[in-house]
Structure 1
Amino acid sequence: MDKDNNDKQYEATEQKLRKARQQGDLPRSTEVNVAMMYLGVWLALTFGAGFAAKSWLAMASRTMGSEPWPDSPVTGLAQPLWQSAAIAVIAMATVPLIAIILGLVVQRALVFSPQKLAIDFKRINPVKNAGQKFGKSGLVTFAISVSKAGFVGVGGWFLFSMLWNRMAGSMLGAGDIWVLGLPDLMGRVLIMAVAISAGFAVLDFLWKRFEHLQKNRMSRKEMEDEHKEVEGDPHMKAARRQKAVDLVSRQMLADVAKADVVIVNPTHYAVALEWKRGSGRAPVCLAKGTDDIAALIRQRARDHDVPIWSDPPSARAIHATVRIGEEIQREHFAAVAAAIRFAEKMRERARAGW
C-alpha cells in the first residue's frame, strides 16, 4: 500500500474523482448518518411522542373516571389510541429516515451505481478485508468508535447525575407527571447523543474524505493516459485531422471543375477562381493549395478543360491572402482580369475548333 502511494505522486483530478463517484466509490461517513438519525429521532420525539403522551394521559384520565367519554367507552378509547399511536409510529419511522437521506445528500453520497450491485469476489477476500480492518483505516475508525463510546458514557453519567433527583421525585409523585416528563428526559438524552455524534461525524467525514483522496491519487502513467483520453491520442488526433483535410480536399477538388481559370506558380502554388458574370461580385476562390494539392488542382483542371494561367506572383499572393469561398482583393483585380481574358480566349479557340 505504501509502495502504491509512493508511485502515485499526483493528486486525483476532477475526472478521476467523477469516475470514482459514478462507480460508487466516494467518501461516505457512517458517523454522519448516525448523527442525523439521532437528530431525526429527537425531532420525532419532540413533535410526535409528546403529542402521543398527552393523548394517552387523557385516555387514562377517562378510563379512571375523572373525565367523561364523548361516546361509548370502547369507541372512545380505541379511536384516540390508534390515532395517537399512528402519529407516533409514523413520526418515529419517517423523520429519522428523512434525516438520514439529508445526511447522504450533504455528503454527496446519494449515488446509485449498478456496479455496486454486481457480484465482486474481491469484497470477500479475507486478506484484503483483514488489511482494511487492521490497517491504518481500520485503526482510525476503531479509535473514533472507542472515543465516541467514552464520551457517550461520560456524558450519560453526568446527565444521569444531574437528573436523578428530578427523576426520583417524578416517580414518587403523580403518575401523569412522570409520564409527561419522560419525553423531556429522552429529549435531553438525544440532544447529548446528537451533540457528541455531530462532533465525531465531522472528524470521521474529514478522515474518510482524506482517505478517499489518498486512495485515488494518480501515477504519472495514469495522468498521461487521462490526458490522452481528454485531449485525444496524438496519433488519433493526427488521423482525424488528416481525415478532415482529405474530406475538405475532396470537396475543394470537386469544385475545381466549376472554375473559370486556375492561376499557378508552375510547381508550388495553384488557385482556382470562379467569376459569375453580371453578379456584380469579384471572382471567388474555389480551391487553393501548395505542392501535392497544387498538383492535384492542376490535374483536375486539365481533366475538365479549365484553362491554366501561369502567374507566380499572383498565385502566391492570392493563396496567402484569400480564403476558400472569399472574393479576391482589389489589388488582385488586374492580374485576375488578365487571367480571365486568357481563359475566355482559350474557350473561344476551343469552340472554334482550333
Structure 2
Amino acid sequence: MAEQQDSSQDRSEEPTEKRMRDAREEGQVPRSKELTTMLLLLVGSGTLFASAALIGGNIGSVMRFNFSLEREAAFDTSLMMHHLGVSLVESTTSLIPFFIAMMLVSLLSPLALGGWLLSGKAVMPKFSRMDPLKGLKRMFSAKSLIELIKSIAKVAVVATVSILVLLSKREDLLGIGKESIPQAIAHSLSVLGWSVMGMSASLILIALIDIPFQIWDHRKQLMMTKQEVKDEFKNTEGKPEVKSRIRQLQREMAESRMMADVPQADVVITNPTHFAIAIKYDATKADAPYVLAKGVEEVAFKIREVAEGNDVSIIESPTLARAIYFTTRIGQQIPAGLYVAVAQVLAYVFQLRRHREGVGETAPVQPDFPVPDDLQRDVDGQPVDTEE
C-alpha cells in the first residue's frame, strides 16, 4: 500500500544531501559527453597545430631515412627491422606532446562537471538493465528523444562548419602540391590543425546546451516524494519513540552513576523537598567544594534516601539549595560567591558530627547561610528581586 502511494505521488521535493551523497556513491553524477569530446578535439587540434613543424620535420626525416637507400641496402632483409624500429621511435617521439595533452584532458575533463569519481558500484552489473520492457521504455523516453535531437543538431552544426572551413582553406589545399615535401607536410598539418580546431569549436555550442541539460536531468532523477523525505528523515534521525527511549535510558544511566557518588558526599543541601544537592570537598581533587549529584522532585527524593541510608548529613536551606542547583553543574566547583555559605555548611556539619560523637555538651545551632543577591533564584530558576 505504501509503495502504491509513493509511486502515485509527484516527485516534487528537492533531493536531500543524503540522497545526493548516496547517488554519488553509486556512480550517479552529471556527465556531459559533449563537453569531454569538445575538450579532446580542441586540445588535440591545438596541440597538432602548435607542434606541426616538429611533427613535419620528424616525418620528413623518417621518409628520407627509409627512401634514401643504397642499392645493396634495399636487398638486405636484415635492415628492414632496423628501419622499422627507427621509424617507430621517431614517429612516436614527435607525437609525445599530443599523447600527453590527450591524457591530461582525459584526466582533468571530469573535474569540469561531476568531478572525479571512484565507485565500485558504478561498474557492478545491474540486471535490471536487462529487462526488455524497461529497455524499450528508455528507448522511447523523453531523454532518448532529446539525445536524438542533440545528435542530429551536432551532425548538422559540425557538417556546416566543416564545409565552411574546407572552403576557406581551398587555396591552401591547392597550393600544397607546389611545395617541397617538408614544407608540404608542415603546411598540411597546419591546415589540418586549423580545420580540426574550427570543427571542434563548433561543438562549444552543443556543449553549452548539453551541460545545463545534464545538470537539470541529474537533479530531476534525484527528486523525491514527500513520503521518501519523511522515510529518509526517520532512517537518519531515528523514530521519535526510539529517540525518546534512548534519552530515557541515558537519563537513567546518568542518574545511576550520580546516585553511586552520593554516599561519598560530605553533605546534602535540600529545599527541603523539591531540590537536593550533594556537596563534596576534597582538597586533593579541587580547590573548592564541588557538586557530586543534584536533582528535583523524584531525583531529589532518591538523593535524600541514599544520603540517609549512608549517614550523609542533610541540611535544609532552600535559598542555598536553589542557588547551587541553578548555577553549578554536576562535577563543577561551586561559584566563588557561595564559598562562605558552603564553608559555613561544612563547618556546621563537622560540629554536628562531633556533637553526635559525644564531643561538646550543647548541640550546634544551624546558622543562616548567606547567599549573595545576584545568586538567589526562585523555584523556576529566575533571579529573585530582593529589593521588593
Q: Which TM-score band applies after superposition, normalised by the shorter structure?
A: 0.7 to 0.9
- The 2-side partners of 1:194 and 1:97 are apart by 18
Deviation at residue 21 of structure 1 after TM alignment: 1.1
Instruction: Name the CA shift for 1:326/1:279 in 2 (closer, same or farther; >3 Å).
Output: closer
Find the counterpart in structure 1 of residue 45 from structure 2.
Answer: 42
Instruction: Considering fraction of residues, name the structure with more helix.
Output: 1
Instruction: Name the CA shift for 1:33/1:312 in 2 (closer, same or farther; >3 Å).
Output: same
Instruction: Name the CA shift for 1:59/1:138 in 2 (closer, same or farther; >3 Å).
Output: closer
- The 1-side partners of 2:207 and 2:43 are apart by 15
Matched, 1:55 2:62: no
What amino acid does structure 1 have at the position aligned with 2:277? V
1:24-68 Cα shifts (integer Å, max 9, x gaps): 101111111211221242144235554232123245457776xxx
What amino acid does structure 1 have at the position aligned with 2:40? M
Deviation at residue 121 of structure 1 after TM alignment: 0.7
1:270-294 Cα shifts (integer Å, max 9, x gaps): 1212245899965433211111111
Matched, 1:114 2:120: yes
Deviation at residue 147 of structure 1 after TM alignment: 0.5
User: Secondary structure, in 3 states, of the residue corresponding to 2:293?
Assistant: strand
Deviation at residue 213 of structure 1 after TM alignment: 0.7
Find the counterpart in structure 2 of residue 203 from structure 1.
Answer: 209
Instruction: Name the CA shift for 1:35/1:309 in 2 (closer, same or farther; >3 Å).
Output: same
Q: 14, 27, 32: which is aligned to 2:30?
A: 27
Equivalent residues of 2:277, 2:293 under 8 A apart: yes
- The 2-side partners of 1:105 and 1:282 are apart by 60
User: Secondary structure, in 3 states, of the residue corresponding to 1:305?
Assistant: coil
**C-alpha RMSD of the superposition:** 3.4
Deviation at residue 305 of structure 1 after TM alignment: 1.1
Find the counterpart in structure 1 of residue 363 from structure 2.
Answer: none
Q: 330, 341, 352: which is aligned to 1:345?
A: 352
Q: Extract unaligned runs of 5+ from structure 1.
A: 66-72
- The 1-side partners of 2:284 and 2:84 are apart by 100
Equivalent residues of 1:8, 1:219 under 8 A apart: yes
User: Secondary structure, in 3 states, of the residue corresponding to 1:37?
Assistant: helix
1:293-332 alignment runs, 5 A limit: 293-324=299-330, 325-327=332-334, 330=337
Find the counterpart in structure 2 of residue 187 from structure 1.
Answer: 193
Equivalent residues of 1:48, 1:87 under 8 A apart: no
Instruction: Name the CA shift for 1:322/1:112 in 2 (closer, same or farther; >3 Å).
Output: closer
Equivalent residues of 1:307, 1:343 under 8 A apart: no
Q: 12, 16, 21: which is aligned to 2:15?
A: 12
Deviation at residue 111 of structure 1 after TM alignment: 0.6
Find the counterpart in structure 1 of residue 90 from structure 2.
Answer: 84
Q: 147, 169, 172: which is aligned to 1:141?
A: 147
- The 2-side partners of 1:338 and 1:18 are apart by 59
Deviation at residue 178 of structure 1 after TM alignment: 3.0
Deviation at residue 214 of structure 1 after TM alignment: 0.8
Once the two structures are overlaid, the 10-residue window that deviates more, 129-138 or 41-50, is 41-50
Find the counterpart in structure 1 of residue 376 from structure 2.
Answer: none
- The 1-side partners of 2:134 and 2:17 are apart by 27
- The 2-side partners of 1:12 and 1:211 are apart by 13
Q: TM-score, normalised by structure 2?
A: 0.76
The size of the alignment, in residue pairs, is: 344
User: Secondary structure, in 3 states, of the residue corresponding to 1:7?
Assistant: coil
Find the counterpart in structure 2 of residue 261 from structure 1.
Answer: 267
What amino acid does structure 1 have at the position aligned with 2:24? R
1:230-249 alignment runs, 5 A limit: 231-249=237-255
Equivalent residues of 1:31, 1:204 under 8 A apart: yes
Equivalent residues of 2:324, 2:334 under 8 A apart: no
Provide the identity percentage. Answer: 24
Equivalent residues of 2:267, 2:278 under 8 A apart: yes
- The 2-side partners of 1:300 and 1:166 are apart by 104
What amino acid does structure 1 have at the position aligned with 2:161? G
User: Secondary structure, in 3 states, of the residue corresponding to 2:202?
Assistant: helix
Instruction: Name the CA shift for 1:260/1:150 in 2 (closer, same or farther; >3 Å).
Output: same
Q: Extract unaligned runs of 5+ from structure 2.
A: 1-5, 69-75, 360-388
Once the two structures are overlaid, the 10-residue window that deviates more, 56-65 or 132-141, is 56-65
Instruction: Name the CA shift for 1:24/1:225 in 2 (closer, same or farther; >3 Å).
Output: same
Instruction: Name the CA shift for 1:347/1:262 in 2 (closer, same or farther; >3 Å).
Output: farther
- The 2-side partners of 1:277 and 1:172 are apart by 105
Find the counterpart in structure 2 of residue 292 from structure 1.
Answer: 298
